[in-house]
Amino acid sequence: PKLALFASGNGSNFQAIVDAVKKGQLDAEIPLLICDQKKAYVLERAAKANIEAHTFTLKEYGNKQAFEEAIVSLCQRHHIDYIILAGYMRIIGKTLLDAYQGRIINIHPSLLPSFPGLHAIEQAFDKGVKITGITVHYVDEGVDSGPIIAQAAVDIREDDTIESLTERMHETEHELYPKTIARILERKYVQKGDK
């Protein structure tokens, strides 16, 4: 199967997925990185890994539909099977959702449905919860609201700072995301309601 990875920033999850493919832990190809930020560090990671990268900015296209149509057409040209969001900081619109129904996956740094949206790690830390974690889920039209595929818990320790917690959250993501994608590709995850 062919994966298009979507990212906006650092791309450490992008890297974890690319590395898992290289190590033979994830049986997939990654023909494409889609980015929406011209200066994102993930673009350097893609160059190093020899992965074709395209930056689409909403500005160039004027509206979300035209922007997403351009992305869909590139993905279709590359025969992409799944879209993997890895720190892609945009809400997925109808055009992409319709084209890749049930095949768009996201990772979010909280135990959903708690703390959706931006700054989820800080939200949990500030609330004083004792256990937070990572969620991998299918993307629907809402914000971090689609069907949950996998979760991993991360304890918030007495002596944690936002930095130390963030570091453990990322480590957990880098382990959980490639593993979960592998399971999805093996069709080991069945959505509620599936026959």
Name the binding residues: 11-13, 64, 89-92, 106
Radius of gyration from C-alpha coordinates of the chain: 16
Shortest Å, Cβ 35 to ligand GRF: 10
Q: Please tell me whether residue 105 adopts helix, strand or coil conformation.
A: strand
Residue whose Cβ sits closest to ligand GRF: 87
Residue type at position 145: S
Verify binding: residue 86, ligand GRF, rule CB under 6 A: yes
CB 11 to ligand GRF: min, Å: 5
CB-based burial label for 192 (10 Å; 0-12, 13-18, 19+): exposed
Work out which of 3, 4, 5, 12 binds ligand GRF, going by CB under 6 A: 12
> Judged by CB under 6 A, which of 34, 80, 96, 173 binds ligand GRF?
173
CB of 2 to ligand GRF, least distance (A): 20
158 three-state secondary structure: coil
Residues classed as catalytic: 108
Please state, in angstroms and rounded to a whole number, the distance separating the CA atoms of residues 33 and 161. Answer: 32
Site string for ligand GRF, 131-170 (x = CB under 6 A): ----------------------------------------
Tokens 């062919």: give the residue.
2
Which residues have CB under 8 Å from 181's CB, separation 6+? Answer: 3, 17, 20, 26, 28, 82, 84, 105
Chosen residue from 4, 9, 35, 75 binding ligand GRF by CB under 6 A? 9
> Contact positions toward ligand GRF, by CB under 6 A?
7, 9-14, 86-87, 107-109, 173
